[in-house]
Amino acid sequence: MAARRSPCICLSVVFLAMIAVVAVSQIIVEWRQGDSPQIAELFRQKPTRANLRRLESSLESGCRIGQTVRPWMQFARFVLLEDAGDNAILGRDGWFFYRPAVQYLIEPWSPEGGQTQGNVFDAIISFRDDLAKRGIQLLVMPAPNKASVYPEMLTGRTRKETGSVNASTREILVRLKQEGVEILDLFEVYDRAKRVAGSPACYLAQDSHWSPEGMRLAAEAVANRLLDLGWIEKRATKYETRSAPVERHGDVLRMMRVPQVERLFEPQGMDCTQVVDAETGQLYADDPNSPVLVLGDSFLRIFERDEPGSGGFVAHLASNLGFGLSSIVSDGGASTLVRQQLARKPALLKDKRVVVWEFVERDLRFGTEGWQRVPLPAPDGSG
């Protein structure tokens, strides 16, 4: 009996130690830092459902042992199981994909399905009409999900597929075109670029965003479209580009928040080019008085406000058009937030003739704050 009792006691002691050590160590660490224990919040606030969820969430996220263990465990899972975590999917040849963007392509979705706040058609058409009342034209440019352009880098199975991986998006674009919305179809632009043998990839391997090449193609296509439509004329400001190579890990890789995994991959090299004023030699800077306003999300931020700076879409579009542009950038908020910012500062529309509106494809479903109608104040200020 005694022989059977020893393993029982041993197991119980180890179990109790394992479940007690987390809270005890947490309380000790918090005391040593001069903070009162987080769990004491339980007795300081009204025990409503919301408060309890908040406390539970902060206990989890603030857990020191959890913070220490998490990256190592994720590293082990990545190495042994190829599990890249909640936000990332490991593709082929070191390509990473942003999970919600892939989820957007896999799951059935309809803009009329009530899954998003507001309606994408209402939001875009009403915005186009509000701008038209001010004599401003709108060009809409959805930035494709990386997996829409390079599905074969996610799985070899798509090679055998005939159907488009993003039928929902294509249906939305067709319908918007039927409604008279001017769309720049980057899917076609990138499809053409892919067919050119040896051309650089339009997307970054470790990132959810376009590569410098993909960005330059987009800027060129938008400039050509605006000029072809006659909405704007090319002007005489001379810009030059200068090489500014950048090396860094991509955002999808960094979203894993596991330095050990990042160390497994070389930082991706990016053949960036900065735009400089040919006369002054100054780096490109926005011009608030420009006739063109560009709205968008992190696709506009990359290379422009991030490293190397003045080397992103806005600068290259300006270079193609021969004059400086205005821009409003809201990370992850191109569906609604960026228009709300504009509605709060309608003066930004003064003397504008064209608005270029970029948003990433997945935001058709997952855009922050959905696709709300955001009426612009009336041109005469009465509204």
Residues that bind other proteins in the complex, under the rule CB under 8 A: 4-12, 14-16, 18-20, 22-23, 39, 47-49, 52, 56, 59-60, 63, 65-66, 69-70, 72-74, 77, 80-83, 85-86, 89-91, 97, 102, 104-109, 147, 151, 154-155, 157-158, 160-161, 163-168
**Helices first, then strands: H and E counts in the chain:** 16, 11
Nearer to other proteins, 31 or 72 (CB): 72
In whole angstroms, the minimum distance from the beta carbon of 376 to other proteins comes to: 34
In whole angstroms, the minimum distance from the beta carbon of 254 to other proteins comes to: 17
Nearer to other proteins, 301 or 362 (CB): 362
Nearer to other proteins, 82 or 380 (CB): 82
Do the bridges between strand 246-248 and strand 96-98 make them parallel or antiparallel, or are there none, so unpaired? Answer: unpaired
Q: Tokens 């059977």 label which residue?
A: 4
Q: How far apart are CA 204 and CA 188, in angstroms?
A: 18
The total of other beta-carbon atoms located within 10 Å of residue 175's CB is 13
In whole angstroms, the minimum distance from the beta carbon of 314 to other proteins comes to: 30
- The pair of structure tokens assigned to 91 is 């593709």
Q: Which residues of 203-226 are buried (b: 16+ CB within 10 A; e: fewer)?
A: bbbbbbbbbbbbbbbbbebbbebb
- The pair of structure tokens assigned to 77 is 């899972």
Nearer to other proteins, 86 or 279 (CB): 86
Nearer to other proteins, 5 or 32 (CB): 5
In whole angstroms, the minimum distance from the beta carbon of 291 to other proteins comes to: 38
Q: Tokens 């009426």 label which residue?
A: 375
Q: How far apart are CA 320 and CA 329, in angstroms?
A: 20
- Residue 117's Cβ-count burial label (10 Å; 0-12, 13-18, 19+) is middle
In whole angstroms, the minimum distance from the beta carbon of 370 to other proteins comes to: 19
In whole angstroms, the minimum distance from the beta carbon of 58 to other proteins comes to: 10
